[in-house]
Amino acid sequence: MSVQGLSVRFRAAGGRQVAAVTDARFDLAAGECLALVGESGCGKSVLASALLGLLPRNAEVAGRAVLQDGLDLTTAGERILARTVRGRRVGLVPQSPATHLTPVRTVRAHMKETVRALTGVRRAGLRPAVEAAATRAAYPLDHLDRYPHELSGGLAQRAATALALVGEAPLLIADEPTTGLDRDLVERTVDELRTHADRGHGLLMITHDLAAAARIADNVAVMYAGRIVEISKAHRFFGDPGPRHPYARALLDALPERAFTPIPGTPPPLTSLPSGCAFAERCPRADTRCVTRPEFAGDLACHHPEQPRA
Query: Around Cβ 268, how many Cβ atoms within 10 Å?
Result: 17
Q: Is residue 88 part of a domain?
A: no
13 pLDDT band (50/70/90 cuts)? confident
Number of CB atoms found within 10 A of residue 150's CB: 12
Residue-wise pLDDT tens digits, 176-185: 999 989 999 9
Question: For 205-237, how does the pLDDT look when each residue is reduced to its tens digit (9 = 90+)?
Answer: 999 999 999 999 999 999 999 999 999 999 999
Domain count of the fold of the chain: 1
Q: Which domain holds residue 259?
A: 1-79+216-310
The mean of the pLDDT values for the chain is: 95
The pLDDT tens digits of the residues spanning 261-285 come to 999 999 999 999 999 999 999 999 9
Asked whether residue 97 is assigned to any structural domain, the reply reads: no
Q: Provide the pLDDT for residue 309.
A: 63
Whether residue 8 lies inside any domain: the answer is yes
CA distance 67 to 245: 29
Which residue type does 90 have?
A: V
Q: Give the percent of the chain with pLDDT over 90.
A: 92
Categorise residue 19: left if φ over 0, alpha if ψ from -120 to 50, beta otherwise: beta
For the purposes of burial, counting CB atoms within 10 Å of the CB of 226, is it exposed (0-12), middle (13-18) or buried (19 or more)? buried
Look at residue 177 and tell me if it is in a domain.
Answer: no
Mean pLDDT of 150-166: 95
User: Which CATH number goes with the domain that contains 228?
Assistant: 3.40.50.300
Identify the pLDDT of residue 28.
98
Mean predicted confidence (pLDDT) in 159-176 = 96
pLDDT in tens, 18-48: 999 999 999 999 999 999 999 999 999 999 9
Average pLDDT over residues 71-97: 96
pLDDT 10s digits, 192-208: 999 999 999 999 999 99
Q: Is 167 part of any domain? A: no
pLDDT at 310 over 60: no
- Across the range 55-64, mean pLDDT stands at 96
Instruction: Flag whether 125 is in a domain.
Output: no
Closest by CA to 133, choosing from 141, 122, 142, is 141
Q: Check residue 99 and give its pLDDT.
A: 82
The mean pLDDT of 95-108, rounded to a whole number, is: 92
In a domain, 119, yes or no: no
pLDDT one-digit tens code per residue, 119-129: 999 888 999 99
For residue 38, tell me if it sits in a domain: yes
pLDDT of residue 82: 95
